[in-house]
């Protein structure tokens, strides 16, 4: 492609809308344009990158036994009502765009395709002899994000590869899951990126085992905890660990103490001269289920620990059937207006005891919430602990479970693992952390969807069972931007060769110099002919502008037909290292060909 | 691919939902599944066809100077309000799905991308030096069709290639338009299909010149009129012609006649013993513009002619500025309830005179419509004509314009051309007709969008002008189904080699015969290695089932490793001709390779 004929406009200044380097660089380099909040046009250079990533994904999926298809983006609400996700996706979380057609039928814009593919499988698959099957598609997906940001990282319209597998047995699912794990590692490696595979929370998709693939980069929205020995890595949402040991409590005797102005753990420790590990902290949450049921949840956890709300949500979803509900619409701390609806008197915030319900929850008011107590494992083990006294400005010390306070029956792990914790697999290993960009996620779904939607098969014994499912996603457009986030310098993008929009850019410093043009045109034609994708900067611009643009858009190799022509050579610069060398004109084509090839192996 | 491992399910019976052969065959062959009204899943075989069509489109677009990109499907309503199409597309015609996001902002689901691309061009293009530019994308589009039908032919979600070009001059647009014309002809020819390029109406897209590419097939929704000499072809919506000459009127004297029960042209001719060409027929339409203005339009046309409502609409849109409107929301015949709002007395339907307004339109009623008269050229030329007397059961005969009736000032061409008419370019040529499936449409848009949206550039003289635009669409998924509609037999689909999902299917008649398996596996491996895309039917099914399935899914060549193995040969059958021959095992790979290659050149 000749730059003179391309829609190619670069910006010198960082656009105001961009917050992270990759977003700025893609805008400045003319790769993308914003059309609306979280909605971008992929311009020709970007489209080439996306096509390359897609092709790598396609090849690895095919190798792993996937069959490519394309499912509709418009999805009838009926399917989502069958699986039970319509309300969660369109109302509770509201991440699915929905609309009504001219017949007033409800449709959703697919953020994911479990419902559609399960319907297809249900209609087409009857027997174990047709299993396993793995179908995938590369497609634009939609999510009405609360806070679209970072360009393609968290857009409302984005490109995904999603795959779905169907199995007659858990062993078969396990095999596919492992094949996908391998395919995902290959995809990211072939794109030239550093990543980490981590244990993950399964979230609203559901299922048991799940693993994420994280591109390591400072601007990553996710936190990863891992051990140096390489044996443990998990998303902080999911991570488990051994917390540090609690110190021995300095309080041997149970008593109520006046502790004025100690509504935080830090202030309390200072006042009482004790460790945060001596304290049982009690946090109140308001939960609203999709059935309309409201529940107040009091979580007791050791004072130095933080509640992991993802884990808490999972526990509460597990309890949902008790409330004739499937999912949670609201999880939050009840504010004052909220409290007035059901509190008998103002809550002693900062001084709540593990038995807050006695006296504070007015059971005769209009809204009578269910009250639920959860205790984290870290709090269960404490002896002679400090905790709130249910009275402003007062705590109790030297308390014990089942003496002063009844131990809640629901003992759970809802603490947030953190850097510095000891690993469970080997307590000598200490958790470290890193920031990551999630570009892939694989799930063992089990029978969640097939059971709900009646997608069954007949097994060898003639019995009808729901198919066992897996699902596997790669964020194609996100991965492309993550590559930039992992690889850039002050001058611009440094594309890995495998996904660069072009391999080589040839710069003609002076477009009125016939020799420069002739040599450049010649190399340009030869390189493209042998599959080295080459741009020719034949614009009527100053050489300096051309060099700056080449650096900004990050083409791996730059050929300059400048002064060195006198000695029968061209200058060749590697973008990543900025190393420059002169190569004989007659050798440059084969040299570049071999560089490009070896960079992709 | 091995059929045993593929999600491959064929149906013996025609599905009830399908009306035309291609739709039935794609459903029966396991190519597509219906997910909702006008919404289909493209299963792996179909996806391969679509990928092949897309690749041919891509290559031809690149050759013609196009640059591939991808624009968002979610489009902010602001852009469509700027161009003035939001109301037409979401309300009047209602073909654009629209929705509101969690911030209550309106978005449309792109049926076309003039607004988005014009915005991109406006932001990026400043100077004539950046022009011309041609951007294209291959993308899923959405239309909330009133009557989705025929599978992929008229779906609500479908795959399009759309291209948009920007120019500094009309000459440059003309060049691109011609390059696109050529590219489109190449695309359809390379897909192996018979087509006709025809003059077309530009419809809601707007612009001046426009041409459609029609795949000829009986089930086509469009009617094409053409001449044998190949010099004229047009969509019936757009076609012009010379009508047959009018006969000389038998009525020399003007008089009012009682003509009971003659509310159709046929009855009237019989009663009066005259020709339909002696009659001026007056048809009343009710028009509602987007400004809310309602207009009654009385169209006078020669009795043997039919009003072409597409042409009528175009005339009325041309008049829209008079009514502070841009477009028409309703065009229809006013019914009785409607009439009661403004008619002074019941209208003499079937007996309307060219001056209906006098006496029948009650100007003091609540709704006072504007009244407009249009006369078609065919009616203007009549002398001593017959027409309605504005009184039930009465006509007048021997009438003349500007004697008994004032000739309307708006003389227009709104007659429907029809088979048997004489061609304008050569009156000895008679129009013939054919059914076609529109798979491509190219438009010279001019400055409709660039002017409305302020997409200007600075020309060589330093003046700022709106860019001149063209737009060009190919219905990728529609083309794929049209191929089937043009090429099938009683046993199934007959794919052209270039877009067949696979080139060859190898059938093992007896999968417990080791020799059959070995030979088949060997040929299968070799063919795929050299790029002949081959399916292996290794299913545990009867040979008859396999033959039926192969015919149904329409793979161009079938290899059977059956009885002929004894003589060192395999049977090879060509799907289109059903011709069978035996080919030596060691020669079959090179033979097939050469067949497949030559079929695509």
Tell me the three-class secondary structure of A369-420, residue by residue: CEEEEEEEHHHHCCCCEEEEEEECCEEEEEECECCCECCCCEEECCECCCCC
Contacting residues of A for B67, CB less than 8 Å apart: 1, 6-7, 44
Percent of chain B clearing pLDDT 70 (strictly above): 98
pLDDT at B34: 96
Tokens of A494: 């440094």
**Is the CB of B7 less than 8 angstroms away from the CB of A125?**
yes
Residue A246 has pLDDT above 80, yes or no: yes
Contacting residues of B for A139, CB less than 8 Å apart: 140
Mean pLDDT, range A123-146, rounded to an integer: 97
pLDDT at A363: 65
Mean pLDDT, range B489-500, rounded to an integer: 97
CA distance B535 to B210: 42
Residue B246 has pLDDT above 60, yes or no: yes
pLDDT at B358: 75
Is A386 in contact with A280 (CB distance < 8 Å)? Answer: yes
**Is the CB of A156 less than 8 angstroms away from the CB of B102?**
no
- B437: nearest Cα among B41, B151, B231: B151
Give per-residue pLDDT as tens, B273-321. 999 999 999 999 999 888 888 889 999 999 999 999 999 998 998 888 8
Name the 3-class secondary structure at B61.
helix
Residue A251 has pLDDT above 60, yes or no: yes
Q: What is the DSSP string of A57-105?
A: HHHHHHHTT-EE-B--SEEEHHHHHHHT-HHIIIIIS--S-EEE-TT--
Mean pLDDT, range A387-394, rounded to an integer: 94
Is B9 in contact with B30 (CB distance < 8 Å)? Answer: yes
Range in A287-296, B45-54, B98-107, B557-566 with the lowest mean pLDDT:
A287-296
**Domain edges within chain B:** 17-73+110-193+435-485, 255-412, 502-599
Name the 3-class secondary structure at A140.
strand
Residues 192-221 of A with CB under 8 A from B: none
Residue B471 has pLDDT above 60, yes or no: yes
Residues in a beta bridge with B302: B280
pLDDT at B211: 93
pLDDT at A367: 63
Is A213 in contact with A439 (CB distance < 8 Å)? Answer: yes
| Partner residue opposite B35 with nearest CB, options A30, A37, A72 | A72
Interface test mutation site (partner B, options A2, A99, A161, A167, max chain B beta carbons within 10 A)? A99
pLDDT at A290: 82
| Partner residue opposite A69 with nearest CB, options B47, B99, B119 | B47
Tokens of B362: 């009650």
**Quick count: other Cβ atoms within 10 Å of Cβ A314?**
17
CA distance B141 to B111: 5
CATH number 3.90.960.10 is the correct assignment for the domain at B255-412: yes
pLDDT at A400: 96
Interface test mutation site (partner A, options B74, B98, B116, max chain A beta carbons within 10 A)? B74
Give per-residue pLDDT as tens, A200-227. 877 655 666 889 999 999 889 899 999 9
* Closest residue, chain A, to B11 (C-alpha): A124
Distance from CA of A540 to the nearest CA of B (A): 10
pLDDT confidence band for A371 (50 / 70 / 90): confident
The answer to whether residue A37 neighbours chain B at the CB level (below 8 Å) is yes
Residues 109-128 of A with CB under 8 A from B: 109, 116, 119-120, 123-125
**Is the CB of A101 less than 8 angstroms away from the CB of B33?**
no
User: Architecture of B17-73+110-193+435-485 per CATH?
Assistant: 2-Layer Sandwich (3.30)
| Partner residue opposite A146 with nearest CB, options B42, B76, B102 | B102
Is B181 in contact with B441 (CB distance < 8 Å)? Answer: no
Unique residue bearing structure tokens 């060859």: B504
Contacting residues of B for A135, CB less than 8 Å apart: 7, 44
Residue B222 has pLDDT above 70, yes or no: yes
Mean pLDDT, range A218-246, rounded to an integer: 91
- Cis peptide bond prior to B132, omega within 30° of 0: yes
Cα A278–A281–A285 angle (5° rounding)? Answer: 165
pLDDT at B364: 59
Give per-residue pLDDT as tens, B124-144. 999 999 999 999 999 999 999
The answer to whether residue A157 neighbours chain B at the CB level (below 8 Å) is yes
**Is the CB of B46 less than 8 angstroms away from the CB of A69?**
yes
- B572: nearest Cα among B601, B542, B532: B532
Mean pLDDT, range A159-187, rounded to an integer: 97
Considering the domain A3-240+433-485 in this protein, what is its CATH number? 3.30.930.10
pLDDT confidence band for A368 (50 / 70 / 90): low
pLDDT at A205: 58
Three-state SS string over A175-187 comes to HHHHHHHHHHHHH
Relative orientation angle of helices B44-63 and B170-190, to the nearest 10 degrees: 140
Residue A53 has pLDDT above 60, yes or no: yes
CA distance B369 to B353: 18
- The mean pLDDT value of chain B amounts to 93
Give per-residue pLDDT as tens, B412-443. 999 999 999 999 999 999 999 999 999 999 99
- A6: nearest Cα among B503, B300, B125: B125
CATH ID of A502-599, from 3.40.50.800, 1.10.10.10, 3.40.50.2300, 3.40.50.720: 3.40.50.800
Where are the strands (E) in B500-541, listed by range?
504-507, 534-537
Residues 529-568 of B with CB under 8 A from A: 540
pLDDT at B205: 58
Residue B35 makes CB contacts below 8 A (sequence gap 6+) with A71, A72, A75, A76, A79, A116, A119, A120, B41
Residue B267 has pLDDT above 70, yes or no: yes
Give per-residue pLDDT as tens, B498-509. 999 999 999 999
Range in A288-302, A508-522, B18-32 with the lowest mean pLDDT:
A288-302
Contacting residues of A for B37, CB less than 8 Å apart: 103, 105
Backbone angles phi, psi at A118, to 5 degrees: -65, -35
Contacting residues of B for A125, CB less than 8 Å apart: 7, 9
Range in A337-351, A399-413, B99-113, B555-569 with the lowest mean pLDDT:
A337-351
The answer to whether residue B133 neighbours chain A at the CB level (below 8 Å) is yes
pLDDT at A364: 59
Give per-residue pLDDT as tens, A461-479. 999 999 999 999 999 999 9
**Is the CB of B102 less than 8 angstroms away from the CB of A94?**
yes
CA distance A66 to A50: 20
Of all helices (H) and strands (E), which one includes residue A31? none
Distance from CA of B133 to the nearest CA of A (A): 7
Give per-residue pLDDT as tens, A406-464. 999 899 999 999 999 999 999 999 999 999 999 999 999 999 999 999 999 999 999 99
- B250: nearest Cα among B401, B388, B384: B384
Query: CA quadruple B6, B10, B16, B20: dihedral positive or negative?
Result: positive
Contacting residues of B for A73, CB less than 8 Å apart: 73, 140, 142, 157
Residue B212 makes CB contacts below 8 A (sequence gap 6+) with B197, B198, B199, B200, B222, B235, B436, B438, B440, B441
Give per-residue pLDDT as tens, A575-585. 999 999 999 99
State the Cα torsion B215-B220-B225-B226 to the nearest 10°: 30
CA atoms within 13 A on the CB side of B241: 32
**Is the CB of A73 less than 8 angstroms away from the CB of B135?**
no
Tokens of A241: 């660990």
Contacting residues of B for A123, CB less than 8 Å apart: 33
CA distance A336 to A338: 5
Residue A329 has pLDDT above 80, yes or no: no
Residue B182 has pLDDT above 90, yes or no: yes
Give per-residue pLDDT as tens, B348-394. 888 999 988 777 877 656 566 788 899 999 999 999 999 999 999 99
The answer to whether residue B90 neighbours chain A at the CB level (below 8 Å) is no
Q: What is the DSSP string of A196-228?
A: EEEE---GGG--S-EEEEEEE-TT-SEEEEE-T
Residue A362 makes CB contacts below 8 A (sequence gap 6+) with A342, A343, A344
Tokens of B69: 């990109």
CA distance A261 to A255: 18
Residues in a beta bridge with A410: A374
pLDDT at B204: 58
Residue B72 makes CB contacts below 8 A (sequence gap 6+) with A35, A36, A39, A40, A41, A157, B110, B116
Residue A359 has pLDDT above 80, yes or no: no
Contacting residues of A for B69, CB less than 8 Å apart: 41-44, 46-47
Residue B495 makes CB contacts below 8 A (sequence gap 6+) with B49, B483, B484, B487, B501, B554, B555, B556, B575
pLDDT at A203: 66
Distance from CA of B517 to the nearest CA of A (A): 19
**Is the CB of B7 less than 8 angstroms away from the CB of A73?**
no
Residue A365 has pLDDT above 70, yes or no: no
């Amino acid at each position: 492609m000749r730059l003179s004929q391309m829609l190619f406009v670069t910006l010198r200044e960082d656009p105001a809308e961009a917050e992270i380097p990759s977003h700025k660089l893609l805008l400045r380099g003319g790769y993308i344009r914003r059309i609306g909040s979280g909605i971008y046009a992929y311009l020709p250079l970007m489209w080439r990158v996306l096509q390359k990533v897609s092709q790598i994904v396609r090849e690895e999926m095919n190798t792993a036994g996937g069959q490519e298809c394309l499912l509709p983006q418009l999805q009838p609400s009926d399917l989502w009502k069958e699986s039970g996700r319509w309300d969660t996706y369109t109302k509770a979380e509201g991440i699915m765009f929905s609309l009504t057609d001219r017949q007033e039928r409800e449709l959703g814009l697919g953020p994911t395709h479990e419902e559609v593919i399960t319907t297809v499988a249900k209609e087409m698959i009857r027997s174990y002899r047709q299993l396993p099957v793995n179908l995938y598609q590369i497609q634009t997906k939609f999510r009405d994000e609360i806070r679209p940001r970072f360009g393609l990282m968290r857009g409302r319209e984005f490109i995904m590869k999603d795959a779905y597998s169907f199995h007659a047995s858990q062993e078969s699912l396990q095999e596919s899951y492992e094949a996908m794990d391998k395919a995902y590692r290959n995809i990211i490696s072939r794109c030239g990126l550093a990543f980490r595979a981590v244990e993950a929370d399964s979230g609203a998709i559901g299922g048991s085992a799940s693993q994420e693939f994280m591109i390591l980069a400072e601007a990553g929205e996710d936190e990863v905890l891992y051990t140096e020995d390489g044996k443990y890595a998990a998303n902080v949402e999911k991570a488990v660990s051994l917390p540090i040991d609690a110190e021995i409590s300095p309080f041997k005797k149970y008593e109520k103490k006046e502790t004025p102005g100690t509504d935080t753990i830090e202030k309390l420790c200072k006042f009482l001269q004790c460790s945060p590990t001596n304290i049982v902290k009690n946090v109140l949450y308001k939960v609203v289920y999709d059935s309309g049921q409201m529940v107040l949840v009091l979580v007791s956890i050791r004072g130095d620990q933080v509640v992991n709300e993802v884990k808490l949500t999972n526990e509460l979803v597990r309890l949902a059937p008790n409330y004739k509900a499937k999912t949670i619409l609201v999880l939050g701390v009840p504010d004052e207006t909220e409290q007035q609806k059901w509190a008998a008197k103002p809550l002693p915030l900062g001084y709540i005891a593990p038995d807050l319900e006695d006296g504070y929850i007015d059971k005769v008011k209009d809204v009578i919430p269910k009250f639920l107590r959860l205790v984290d494992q870290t709090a269960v083990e404490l002896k002679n602990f400090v905790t709130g006294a249910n009275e402003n400005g007062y705590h109790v010390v030297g308390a014990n479970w089942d003496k002063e306070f009844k131990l809640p029956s629901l003992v759970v792990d809802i603490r947030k693992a953190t850097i510095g914790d000891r690993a469970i697999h080997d307590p000598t290993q200490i958790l470290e952390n890193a920031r990551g960009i999630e570009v892939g996620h694989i799930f063992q779904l089990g029978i969640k969807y097939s059971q709900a939607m009646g997608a069954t098969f007949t097994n060898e014994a003639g019995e009808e069972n729901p198919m066992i499912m897996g699902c596997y996603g790669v964020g194609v457009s996100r991965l492309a931007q993550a590559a930039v986030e992992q690889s850039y310098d002050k001058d611009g993008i440094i594309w890995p060769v495998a996904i660069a929009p072009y391999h080589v850019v040839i710069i003609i410093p002076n477009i009125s110099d016939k020799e420069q043009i002739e040599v450049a045109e010649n190399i340009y034609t030869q390189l493209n002919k042998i599959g080295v994708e080459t741009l020719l900067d034949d614009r009527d611009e100053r050489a300096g502008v051309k060099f700056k643009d080449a650096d900004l858009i990050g083409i791996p190799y730059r050929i300059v037909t400048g002064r060195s022509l006198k000695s029968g050579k061209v200058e060749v610069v590697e973008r990543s290292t900025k190393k420059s060398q002169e190569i004989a004109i007659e050798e440059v084509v084969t040299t570049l060909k071999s560089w490009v090839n070896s960079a992709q192996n």
